[in-house]
Amino acid sequence: MEKRVNIDITILKFLYARYKQFIIPGVVILVCFVLLITFIIPQLKALFELSTNAKKDSNRIIVLKNNLNFLSSLSDSALDSQLQIVSTALPTNKDFIGVINAISYAASFTGVSVSEFQLQIGDLSQAPTDTSKFSSLSLKLSVNGNTNDVNKFIEALYTTFPLSEVTSINIGDTSSTVEINFYYKPLPPVNYNDSTPINPIPSSRLKRINDLYNFNYNFSSSSESVSNSSNGLVNPL
Amino acid sequence: MNKDINFLATKTSEKAKKKKGLMLVKVIAIFSLIFVALLSVLVYYVNGKIYPQALRSERDSLLRRLSTLHNREAKLAIVSNRIENISELIDKRVDYSKLISKFFEKMPSGIKVDNLRLDKQTILLTISSNSLLPINEFIDGLIELGKEKEISVLLLDSLSTSEASSAYSVSLTANL
């Protein structure tokens, strides 16, 4: 059987008159309880997370300070010079003007003549995207000169920018054929991560950069003769 | 049957009970208020202690100063990347000019190089001479190169003589 409670205004008035002194303390308890549940307990929980973040930030500040000190100590001119030389040594795309300059320089330096050459430039409209491997421009040269001259030509190419590698040599009585790969490689994207320590270039690599200043290069990639002495570039190392 | 029913006494006891209950509720309310207030102050205090504003300010200041040096950082990253690649390239490429020079160092006078083919793995050499002695001396020199680990295998492919030019012709294959 369903029991029905009939609350009318008289009962409500009676209950109010009877318990009105309990209302204010009751509301206070309720508000305190709500505050505890909705604000204070989550804040207490967040304290643990905050503690972890504070530790992380402390470590991060050390890294940031070291990075800042290191970057501030670098010279812009030295960096620019290094950037220029490494970019000339290993271009980011098909630098066929640089390639022709290198051959021209090596030929004139060693006294050989290049009678004909095939340069496979490929598709210039598509920029290379794979930053993990080296790409190359393949070249087949007919070089007129004796064995010694051809050898000197190869030697000169090895110390001329852009960097190249001879893949095949066929030296005959009067003329020779040399196949060369001129390398290039796109730059990987530079990602800034403030939490990662910036490491200086190791001394072995700095020595390598230093060695590159003894190579033959032409930063402008113009048709002028290729020579490092004419650039007036000062080795910053 | 209970004859000790006293309505006045019950009313007083109920009032006392209500008063007691009210007192209890008030005490709980005051304690709740104090508890919540103290806990809030404590959380605020601990919050400031654990992760002080100075730490945040220092971090933000450092980040601001570093953002002005991003250009330098990018240049350094590019130089590092390029020099690694350049080193890899220079270290892996074979310097054929040095190898050819070594071959010619071992070549005595009286030998003419008719053909020299060289690729990443093999060297094919055709030489000619009027006498077998310099050819023998040259082959001895190449064996020395093998001992110096410059070449791994040396094969004499052919030895022929031409009556017209009265010269000996030798073809050699050396594996690198």
pLDDT in tens, A57-78: 888 899 999 999 999 998 889 9
pLDDT digits (tens, 9 = 90+) for A215-233: 876 655 433 334 443 343 4
Domain of A216, CATH number, reads 3.30.70.60
Write down the pLDDT at residue A131.
Answer: 66
Looking at the fold, whether A125 and A14 belong to one and the same domain comes out as no
Show the tokens assigned to A13: 């008035």
The model's pTM: 0.70
Q: Range with the lowest mean pLDDT among A65-79, B35-49, B143-157?
A: B143-157
Q: Can you give the C-alpha Rg of chain A in angstroms?
A: 38
Instruction: Round to whole Å and give the CA distance between B163 and A10.
Output: 142
Q: Can you give the C-alpha Rg of chain B in angstroms?
A: 50
Looking at the fold, whether A54 and A98 belong to one and the same domain comes out as no
For the residues A104-108, what does the mean pLDDT come to? 87
- Residue A54 confidence (pLDDT) above 80: yes
Asked whether the beta carbons of residue A163 and residue B90 sit closer than 8 angstroms, the reply is: yes
CA distances from B37 to A50, B23, B40, B72, B75 (A): 21, 21, 5, 51, 54
- A26 touches B: beta carbon within 8 Å: yes
Closest chain B residue to the Cα of A168, Cα to Cα: B119
Contacting residues of A for B90, CB less than 8 Å apart: 163, 208
Looking at the fold, whether A25 and A114 belong to one and the same domain comes out as no
Which residue range is the domain that position B26 belongs to?
Answer: 10-89
Looking at the fold, whether B76 and B100 belong to one and the same domain comes out as no
Looking at the fold, whether B78 and B128 belong to one and the same domain comes out as no
Looking at the fold, whether A120 and A172 belong to one and the same domain comes out as yes
CA distances from B13 to A5, A17, A57, B136 (A): 28, 19, 64, 133
Asked whether the beta carbons of residue B96 and residue A74 sit closer than 8 angstroms, the reply is: no
Closest chain A residue to the Cα of B116, Cα to Cα: A171
Write down the pLDDT at residue B142.
Answer: 86
Write down the pLDDT at residue B87.
Answer: 92
Is there a domain that residue A194 lies in?
A: no
- Residue B53 confidence (pLDDT) above 70: yes
Asked whether the beta carbons of residue B22 and residue A194 sit closer than 8 angstroms, the reply is: no
Looking at the fold, whether A41 and A158 belong to one and the same domain comes out as no
Asked whether the beta carbons of residue A169 and residue B117 sit closer than 8 angstroms, the reply is: yes
Show the tokens assigned to B176: 């690198």
Is there a domain that residue B2 lies in?
A: no
Write down the pLDDT at residue B3.
Answer: 59
Looking at the fold, whether B25 and B79 belong to one and the same domain comes out as yes
Upstream peptide bond of A162 is cis (omega within 30 degrees of 0): yes
Contacting residues of B for A74, CB less than 8 Å apart: 72, 76
Write down the pLDDT at residue B38.
Answer: 93
Write down the pLDDT at residue A64.
Answer: 92
Task: Look over chain B and give the mean of its residue pLDDT values, rounded to a whole number.
Answer: 85
Is there a domain that residue A33 lies in?
A: yes
Asked whether the beta carbons of residue B77 and residue A190 sit closer than 8 angstroms, the reply is: yes
Write down the pLDDT at residue B5.
Answer: 61
**One-letter amino acid for residue B118 of the chain:** L
Question: ipTM score here?
Answer: 0.73
Give first-to-last CA distance, chain B, whole Å: 125
- Residue B29 confidence (pLDDT) above 90: yes
Look at phi and psi of residue A100 and say left if phi exceeds 0, alpha if psi is from -120 to 50, else beta: alpha
Write down the pLDDT at residue A229.
Answer: 39
Count of H-run helices and E-run strands, chain A: 6, 4
**One-letter amino acid for residue A60 of the chain:** R
With both helix axes pointing from N to C terminus, report the angle between A96-110 and A147-158 in degrees, rounded to the nearest 10: 140
Looking at the fold, whether A135 and A205 belong to one and the same domain comes out as yes
Contacting residues of A for B58, CB less than 8 Å apart: 61
Highest mean pLDDT among A165-179, B25-39, B46-60, B107-121: B25-39
Domain boundary among B89, B114, B136: B89
Show the tokens assigned to A23: 């209302």
For the residues A147-164, what does the mean pLDDT come to? 87
Is there a domain that residue A234 lies in?
A: no
Looking at the fold, whether A152 and A65 belong to one and the same domain comes out as no
CA-wise closest residue to A194 among A63, A72, A73: A63
Core vs surface per residue A206-219: b (16+ CB within 10 A) or e: eebbeebbeebbbe
Show the tokens assigned to A107: 């030929």
- Residue B28 confidence (pLDDT) above 90: yes
Residues 6+ apart with CB under 8 A from B1: none
Residues 6+ apart with CB under 8 A from B62: A61, A64, A65, A68
Which residue range is the domain that position A62 belongs to?
Answer: 7-73
For the residues A3-10, what does the mean pLDDT come to? 75
Write down the pLDDT at residue B6.
Answer: 62
Question: How far off is chain B from A1, nearest CA to CA, in Å?
Answer: 33
Contacting residues of A for B72, CB less than 8 Å apart: 71, 74, 76, 79
